[in-house]
């Protein structure tokens, strides 16, 4: 099962196992990882599941779709080149070892 690490703004980190097909957001919420609010439950409508994907992983995560691209303009912490919405990233074996950083806040 792929393992993904969430790194809090404070530097604390948590590694969780993610069943294939789950999104990063589901992995965080189901494992009680702080820092992912996910108010819309994965509907790509709230921008409270903002994560930062390091450049070395950018080519391996699924591409940004138009709805995600638009919504990334509404994150609480301004969007960066590494910004993604974790509900739009489905985890596969190719993402085993992925580490994402969490922004300072989601709202």
Residue ranges that bind ligand FES, judged by CB under 6 A: 25, 38-40, 42-49, 71, 85, 87
Shorter beta-carbon distance to ligand FES: residue 11 or 42 = 42
Cβ burial 42-52 (10 Å sphere, 16+ → b, else e): beeebbbbbbb
Nearest residue to 28 via CA among 103, 80, 79:
103
Interatomic CA distance for residues 103 and 2, integer angstroms? 23
Minimum distance of ligand FES from residue 71's CB (angstroms): 6
Minimum distance of ligand FES from residue 17's CB (angstroms): 21
Shorter beta-carbon distance to ligand FES: residue 27 or 49 = 49
Residues 6+ apart with CB under 8 A from 103: 9, 35, 50, 51, 52, 75, 76, 77
Shorter beta-carbon distance to ligand FES: residue 48 or 83 = 48
Minimum distance of ligand FES from residue 58's CB (angstroms): 18
Shorter beta-carbon distance to ligand FES: residue 61 or 85 = 85
């Amino acid at each position: 099962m792929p393992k993904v690490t969430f790194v809090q703004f404070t530097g604390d980190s948590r590694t969780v196992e993610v069943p294939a097909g789950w999104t990063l957001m589901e992995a965080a919420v189901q494992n009680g990882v702080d820092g992912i609010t996910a108010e819309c439950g994965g509907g790509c409508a709230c921008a409270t599941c903002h994560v930062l994907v390091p450049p070395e992983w950018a080519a391996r995560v699924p591409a940004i779709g138009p709805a995600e691209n638009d919504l990334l303009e509404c994150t609480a912490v301004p969007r960066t080149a590494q910004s993604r919405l974790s509900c739009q990233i489905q985890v596969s074996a190719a993402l085993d070892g992925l580490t994402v950083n969490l922004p300072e806040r989601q709202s």
